[in-house]
Amino acid sequence: MLKVRFHGRGGQGAKIASRVLGTAAFLEGYYAQDFPLYGAERRGAPIAAFTRISKEPILERGVISEPDVIVVMDETLLDDPLANPLSGLGKEGLVFINTTHKAEDIKKRYRIDANVLTLDITKISLDILGKPILSALAGGAASKIVRLKETSLKEAVTRELSDITHEKGLIEKNIEASIYCFNALPSVLIKSNASHKKSDVITMPFEAADISSPSVTIPANTPLKKTGNWRIFKPVWDYELCTKCMTCVMRCPDGCIRVNEEGFPYSDYENCKGCMICAEECPAKAIRKEREVHAW
Amino acid sequence: MIKSIKDLTFEEQMLPGTPACAGCGGLLALRHCLKALGEKTVIVNAAGCFTLLCVYPFTPFKSSWLYTAMACAPAGAQGVRDALNILIKKGRLDEKEDLKVVVLTGDGAAYDMGLSSTSGAIYRNLDFYYICYDNEAYGNTGFQSSGATPFGSKTGTTLPAELNPLGSELSKKDLFEIWRSHKPPYLATISPSHPVDIANKFKKCEGIKGPKLFIAHSPCPPGWATEPRLSAKFAKLAVETGIWPLKEALYGEVKHTLIPKKFKPVEEYLSEQGRFAHLFKPIRQEEAIKNIQERVNRYWK
Ligand SMILES: Cc1ncc(C[n+]2csc(CCOP(=O)(O)OP(=O)(O)O)c2C)c(N)n1
Ligand code: SF4
Ligand code: SF4
Ligand code: SF4
């Protein structure tokens, strides 16, 4: 059995990517299983999705804690202690990372012993689809890595996306992007670590309500969460053009924009989610959008 | 009265880093409501997207926050108000330190599940604020249709298909009138694209004892299938097309706080949103679009 785990941010398409891979495998006669895991959070927050592929019926259930292949759809997740995308990866395993950086550099920086493949699939999706929706692309990358056929991938993307959209053109563009990623990667022989570790049954002791219901006594501490790594684009101000009208300040849903001593607005990039409402609303067009590249 | 956004306070009551989606219109509305309310509040939040704002051990609020089940935030607010009153009466809380009790819920709770407990709270003349962020469906659980879902909208439970080409065939409830029929001293509709209007409405009802109720039209990128950057634009378009009238009722008397000089056609608002896309593609559903325009025309006549 081959176990693949996808890590993405809500809205990027990790769930559909896991389905594309599962369906492609199924079409080639394998047994397949795919499902997502959501936290309590929303679009932009880390999510994981899982695909199991096997020649035999799959009896294993639940999340994959020791994957053979990990697909990291957003490089910033590598620094995220909650997402912890590399957990359970063995030396024989393989990680695919969506990044602008080279595999050797990634291995060094994140101290990864396993095999690493990289490709900037965000750029490919922006070029072909016009938006950073990575489901078909990550599904394509994963299909190549686990040595499925191009024809099954094509059919899988069509089937999965037909459930979501009726736009023919969009499905075709997704197929194009998916195949592009498929062909851009080498296929690799992966030794599956077939061992199945039993997980312990978790028991929850009864606690009285005053102990078991937690309370937060520090006011307004969410800035510690640093939602800035949700961004794909960042707003950049041009003070030559800015008229200090304060529109951007009052339009930011998160209240990330503050005003400096000279009265010019600036964003708290630690938490700005990159929604780009500020850029859209600025009457003077003084805010431009720049692709966010994870700088080391 | 505040005239321009430059006069709005820079003081924030809710800080960044929340788990709400990028471009959440409801969050923008809430940010402005809290700016207007100030620091001395206690928020009573029914289950919905915004319960996730306070996931242990984090909170974006400078004030206190309490989580209730979906149907009973106004009942929770009654409990908090009573407790505060008792503390004041016993001399354990200075009247100057009193807190404003603020119910915060989505439209699923406001229009449907919590309607009876709201009815009870208004009936008892509970001294509280109610802020409903109306994203026109049950957002947190995947955008299922609610009593606030407009005619023609696609939702998780009203998927347009051959037999049901319209998406939702039902019409949005008029919560403003439902609430107004209870005769609360103040209620208003607001929009995140009109923060000055929000500030002035909160100013207007300041000091009034009893229910003060607000319904905020709230663009929701994942549910509406719109780009996050366009949330403010769609909020504005809803006002400019007349779909979302900005109004208030002080002691029952309705006054529109903004009447568009020239109404934009509803199509401008509908055609760019994924949840209405089926009205335009693959075939244009002329009847439905006309129907929506006529509803708006009838309202403003
Ligand atoms: C009694 C009850 N039923 C169902 C749920 C599950 N639930 C949690 S949030 C939610 C959606 C709430 O919708 P809405 O009030 O519109 O707020 P939004 O999610 O859009 O913010 C539902 C159905 C619940 N918490 N309680
Ligand atoms: S991109 Fe969005 S979150 Fe960031 S500063 Fe602009 S409005 Fe705020
Ligand atoms: S909206 Fe544009 S012009 Fe106005 S303050 Fe912001 S950057 Fe300056
Ligand atoms: S689902 Fe909609 S209402 Fe809920 S947090 Fe996201 S944008 Fe806001």
Tokens at B135, concatenated: 């994203």
Contacts of A6 (CB under 8 A, 6+ apart): A14, A17, A18, A48, A49, A50, A51, A70, A71, A73, A138, A142
Query: CA–CA separation, A151 vs A137, rounded Å?
Result: 15
Instruction: Pick the closest to residue A20 from A124, A140, A175 (CA basis).
Output: A140
**Among B14, B24, B54, which is best to mutate for testing ligand 4, by the most ligand atoms less than 8 A from CB?**
B24
Q: How confident is the model at residue A201 (pLDDT cuts 50, 70, 90)?
A: low
pLDDT (tens digit, 9 = 90+) per residue, B226-285? 999 999 999 999 999 999 999 999 999 999 999 999 999 999 999 999 999 999 998 999
Burial class (CB in 10 A: 0-12, 13-18, 19+), B144: middle
Q: How confident is the model at residue A44 (pLDDT cuts 50, 70, 90)?
A: confident
Ligand 3 lined by A103 (C-beta under 6 Å): no
Left (φ > 0), alpha (ψ -120 to 50) or beta: where does B41 sit?
Answer: beta
Least confident of A88-97, B36-45, B80-89, B93-102: A88-97
For the segment A267-293, the average pLDDT, to the nearest whole number, is 95
Instruction: Pick the closest to residue B109 from B51, B157, B63, B60 (CA basis).
Output: B51
Q: What is the DSSP string of A134-145?
A: -HHHHHHHHHHH
Query: CA–CA separation, B97 vs A133, rounded Å?
Result: 49
Residue A197 reports pLDDT greater than 60? no
Q: What is the pLDDT of residue A190?
A: 76
Q: What type of residue sits at position A213?
A: S
Q: What type of residue sits at position A227?
A: T
Is B22 within 8 Å of A43 when comparing Cβ atoms? yes
Paired with A95 in beta bridges are A70, A116
Q: What is the pLDDT of residue A204?
A: 67
Q: What is the pLDDT of residue B162?
A: 86
Distance B103 CA to ligand 1 centre (A): 15
Q: What is the pLDDT of residue B259?
A: 97
Backbone angles phi, psi at A70, to 5 degrees: -120, 130
Query: CA–CA separation, A218 vs B60, rounded Å?
Result: 10
What is the ipTM, given to two decimal places? 0.96
Query: CA–CA separation, B213 vs B122, rounded Å?
Result: 10
List chain B residues with CB under 8 Å of A252. Answer: 28
Average pLDDT, chain B: 97
Tokens at B216, concatenated: 């905020």
Q: What is the pLDDT of residue A198?
A: 53
Q: How confident is the model at residue A37 (pLDDT cuts 50, 70, 90)?
A: confident
Left (φ > 0), alpha (ψ -120 to 50) or beta: where does A251 sit?
Answer: alpha
Sketch the domain layout of chain B as residue ranges.
Answer: 5-300
Cα angle: B289, vertex B292, B293; to 5 degrees = 85
Left (φ > 0), alpha (ψ -120 to 50) or beta: where does A85 sit?
Answer: alpha
For the beta carbon of residue B209, count every other beta carbon within 10 angstroms. 10
The alpha carbon of residue A185 is apart from the nearest alpha carbon of chain B, in Å, by 31
Option in A219, A258, A277 nearest B62 (CB): A219
Option in B16, B61, B233 nearest A271 (CB): B16
Q: How confident is the model at residue A166 (pLDDT cuts 50, 70, 90)?
A: confident
Please name the residue of chain A whose CA is at the shortest distance from the CA of residue B14: A220
Distance A249 CA to ligand 2 centre (A): 9
Q: What is the pLDDT of residue A164?
A: 82
For the beta carbon of residue A96, count every other beta carbon within 10 angstroms. 27
pLDDT (tens digit, 9 = 90+) per residue, A46-92? 889 999 999 999 999 889 999 999 999 999 899 887 789 999 988 88
pLDDT (tens digit, 9 = 90+) per residue, B142-196? 899 999 999 999 999 999 988 899 999 999 999 999 999 999 999 999 999 999 9
Residue A196 reports pLDDT greater than 60? no
Instruction: Pick the closest to residue A91 from A71, A74, A66 (CA basis).
Output: A66
Q: How confident is the model at residue B56 (pLDDT cuts 50, 70, 90)?
A: confident
The alpha carbon of residue A215 is apart from the nearest alpha carbon of chain B, in Å, by 7
Q: What is the pTM of this model?
A: 0.88
For the segment A235-264, the average pLDDT, to the nearest whole number, is 98
Fold of the CATH domain B5-300: Rossmann fold (3.40.50)
Tokens at B121, concatenated: 């709270």
Ligand 3 lined by A185 (C-beta under 6 Å): no
Instruction: Pick the closest to residue B32 from A254, A224, A223 (CA basis).
Output: A254
Helix (H, G, I), strand (E, B) or coil at B269: helix
Nearest CA to ligand 3 atom 8: A242
List chain B residues with CB under 8 Å of A275. Answer: 22-23, 228-229, 231
Nearest CA to ligand 3 atom 2: A282
Ligand 3 lined by A237 (C-beta under 6 Å): yes
Q: What type of residue sits at position A226?
A: K
Strands B41-46 and B100-106: parallel
The alpha carbon of residue B10 is apart from the nearest alpha carbon of chain A, in Å, by 8
Cα torsion A281, A284, A285, A286 to 10°: value is -110
pLDDT (tens digit, 9 = 90+) per residue, B125-134? 999 999 999 9
Measured CA distances, B184 to B119, B180, B251, B253 (Å)? 10, 6, 7, 11
Report cis status (omega within 30 of 0) of the bond before B282: yes
Option in B16, B19, B282 nearest A42 (CB): B19
Left (φ > 0), alpha (ψ -120 to 50) or beta: where does B142 sit?
Answer: left
Q: What is the DSSP string of A212-251?
A: HS----SSS-GGGG-GGGG-SEEEEE-TTT-----HHHHH
Closest-approaching ligand to the CA atom of A247? 3
Is B22 within 8 Å of A230 when comparing Cβ atoms? yes
Instruction: Pick the closest to residue B98 from B107, B82, B85 (CA basis).
Output: B85
Q: What is the pLDDT of residue A79?
A: 85
Paired with A271 in beta bridges are none
Q: What is the pLDDT of residue B57?
A: 87
Q: What is the DSSP string of A174-188?
A: HHHHHHHHHHHS---
For the segment A141-148, the average pLDDT, to the nearest whole number, is 96
Distance B57 CA to ligand 1 centre (A): 22
Q: What is the pLDDT of residue A292?
A: 84
Distance B104 CA to ligand 2 centre (A): 23
State whether residue B79 sits within 8 Å of chain A by CB. no
Residue A135 reports pLDDT greater than 60? yes
Residue A269 reports pLDDT greater than 80? yes
Nearest CA to ligand 1 atom 25: B47
Distance A108 CA to ligand 3 centre (A): 42
> Are B219 and B25 within 8 A, CB to CB?
yes
Could you tell me what percent of chain A has a pLDDT over 70?
94
For the segment B42-66, the average pLDDT, to the nearest whole number, is 94
Closest-approaching ligand to the CA atom of A41? 4
Query: CA–CA separation, A122 vs A135, rounded Å?
Result: 11
For the segment A108-134, the average pLDDT, to the nearest whole number, is 94
Residue A211 reports pLDDT greater than 80? no
Q: Residue B213 is inside which H or E element, if any?
A: strand B212-217
Question: What domains are defined for chain A?
Answer: 2-184 (3.40.920.10), 228-291 (3.30.70.20)
State whether residue B259 sits within 8 Å of chain A by CB. no
Q: How confident is the model at residue A200 (pLDDT cuts 50, 70, 90)?
A: low
